[in-house]
A and B are shown apart, each in its own frame.
Chain A
Amino acid sequence: MKVMVKRIYAPAARSDGFRVLVDRLWPRGISKSDAKLDLWLPDLGPSTALRQWFNHDPARWEEFQHRYHAELKGKTELVSELKGQVPRGTVTLLYSVKDEQHNQAVALRSFLMIRLAAGRHGTRGKKHAVVVEGPNTTMSGRALKPVVQLERTGCGIAAVAAIAGVSYRQAQRTANQLGIYATDRRLWSETTYVRPLLRNYRLCPASTEQPFLSWSSLPDLALLAIKWHRERGRPCWHWVVFVRDSDGERVLDSKRSLKSHVRRDFGRMMPKWYLAVVTKR
């Protein structure tokens, strides 16, 4: 199963699968039959007020996604209708604007992918995890290796890669396919994004974050938030991995400029809280 985005003016292809238009207004210059649609869900588009505020300004993209996702949470029926299609094959979300990177179809895709990856897509029984790529080795008995982040803001992706035993590029590809990008601040200022990425590797994050009390009270495997601070009123942090095994306690830090990515300078890190991770075997 796959969710793609495409401009409605591009020729329709068989590989598009189920074609859904997600614009609120019918696109100019295209007839109903030329559109080759399976479904038009005008109400799934962002509200007029939000669309006008966004005005396709890339500087507002992040905030736009945030607000749009909040709107989508209130549209249970429409989201269910769309989500119901996804396990059955490719779904292509169609839009009309010129900007191919910053538009509601892209934002809707990430909303859907996160929900599908979390297995909360409204069908009972078998869960359709969007397993884009699996870990290349089994976790049991394997010593965790640090992964260096290849994007300035890719600490969340690198932390998941280290636990999953995959390369940064592999985890990045998986994340991107789930609609998660390193540049999205939610990756390092919320846990909503890192959770589906973990689950995708069959890693089970705890349901809530716990305040950090002491190193000895940490579980054997956790994502740890260090360098916690506020930026324009929003909390931000740097993700690292805490691990305790036969090699003792250590922190895997993905920051590029570090001499050693395996850290034991516990006194300097000052974690704020942690997210326990259990590996499903």
Chain B
Amino acid sequence: MPWTTYNNVSIPSFMYGTAWKKEATTGLVLQAVEAGFTAIDTANQLVHYDEARVGEALVQLARQGITRDKLFLQTKFTPVNGQDHRLPYDAGATITTQVQQSFASSLTHLHTDSLDSYVLHGPYSRRGLGAEDWEVWAALESLYDAGKTRMIGISNVSADQLTLLCAKAKHKPMMVQNRCYAAFGWDKEVREICRTHGIIYQGFSLLTANSGIFAEPEMRALAAKYQTGLAQLVFRFSQQIGMLPLTGTTNPQHMKEDLQCERFTLSSEELAAIETIGQ
């Protein structure tokens, strides 16, 4: 079941992530779409992503009849501190120009003229929001106002930073993308803020940050009860507590199984138990 943002944009309930795929990016995006994924996450950041290879997959998909309008495309602006020497913009330019340059290069990479979601990869500092953050956010807002992206969002954000952004921004984010640790109540504080403001919360590292809980007898019992794997259990749990999960699996079987997690429904007691299991 798709989610809807506060500005009425519909977004699929599971997203395929393309980090660390390198040369395999194109092939894996094709496989993911074939398995049933319709939302794709990438970034204009060569350290971890290969956006141009995502674009190559989109060209091939369009040839097969899966055109751009059938897919949800999300990419990111990565500030200088998150890039290596291969910058998609001029590091000497103003932040506003950097965003415009990075955005234009993303459109070229992805062979499209607009995006579904454009994300700030992370604030400039660990705490608070500084002048650079406000400038970058204003640049994202301009892209949104100009109709070049249907939503804007922020990633790797703390509860304090998000509160501040929601309070002062012209447009509060429509989505947040964060790493989700069971040990911290699955990013409970940030999720609460998202709920209050009608912001879509996208969770990543749901498996790789939490394998500790896979050994819990309770998790195993639940997987047995629903005849499913532990990965699917975590993904389904995340969806039911209002999260949009990301997966970057490279295994076609996992792609299919993960999407099938919507077949079962956990009870509210079970959700509550998983919510606190890592704490």
**CB neighbours of B183 from chain A (8 A):** 26, 42
Q: Which partner residue on chain A sits nearest B182 by CB separation? A: A42
Chain A min CB distance to B188 (Å): 12
User: Once the chains bind, are B85 and A126 in contact (CB under 8 Å)?
Assistant: yes
Tally of contacts, chain A with chain B, CB under 8 A: 53
Q: Which partner residue on chain B sits nearest A80 by CB separation? A: B20
Chain B min CB distance to A230 (Å): 37
Interface residues on A, range: 20 to 34
Query: In whole angstroms, how far apart are the Cα atoms of A38 and B208 in the complex?
Result: 16
**CB neighbours of A135 from chain B (8 A):** none
Interface residues on B, range: 20 to 34
**CB neighbours of A48 from chain B (8 A):** 215
Query: In whole angstroms, how far apart are the Cα atoms of A48 and B214 in the complex?
Result: 12
Is A125 in the interface zone, CB < 8 Å from B?
A: yes
User: Once the chains bind, are A123 and B47 in contact (CB under 8 Å)?
Assistant: yes
Chain B 85-128 interface mask (CB, 8 Å, partner A; 1/0): 11000000000000000000000000000000000000000100
User: Once the chains bind, are A88 and B84 in contact (CB under 8 Å)?
Assistant: yes
Chain A min CB distance to B79 (Å): 12
**CB neighbours of B22 from chain A (8 A):** 122, 124
**CB neighbours of A122 from chain B (8 A):** 20, 22
Is B226 in the interface zone, CB < 8 Å from A?
A: no
User: Once the chains bind, are A81 and B20 in contact (CB under 8 Å)?
Assistant: yes
Is B184 in the interface zone, CB < 8 Å from A?
A: yes
**CB neighbours of A80 from chain B (8 A):** 19-20, 48
**CB neighbours of A81 from chain B (8 A):** 19-20, 48
Is A32 in the interface zone, CB < 8 Å from B?
A: yes
Chain A min CB distance to B203 (Å): 15
Chain A min CB distance to B19 (Å): 7
**CB neighbours of A126 from chain B (8 A):** 85
Q: Which partner residue on chain A sits nearest B80 by CB separation? A: A88
State the B residues within 8 Å of A (CB): 19-20, 22, 46-48, 81, 83-86, 126, 181, 183-184, 208-212, 215, 248
State the A residues within 8 Å of B (CB): 24-26, 32, 36, 38, 40-43, 48, 76-78, 80-81, 84, 87-88, 122-126
Show 29 residue pairs from A and B whose CB-CB distance is below 8 angstroms, ordered by the A residue.
A24-B212, A25-B212, A32-B184, A36-B126, A40-B181, A41-B208, A42-B181, A42-B209, A42-B210, A42-B212, A43-B209, A43-B211, A76-B20, A78-B208, A80-B19, A80-B48, A81-B19, A81-B20, A84-B48, A84-B84, A87-B47, A87-B84, A88-B47, A88-B83, A88-B84, A122-B22, A123-B86, A124-B46, A125-B86
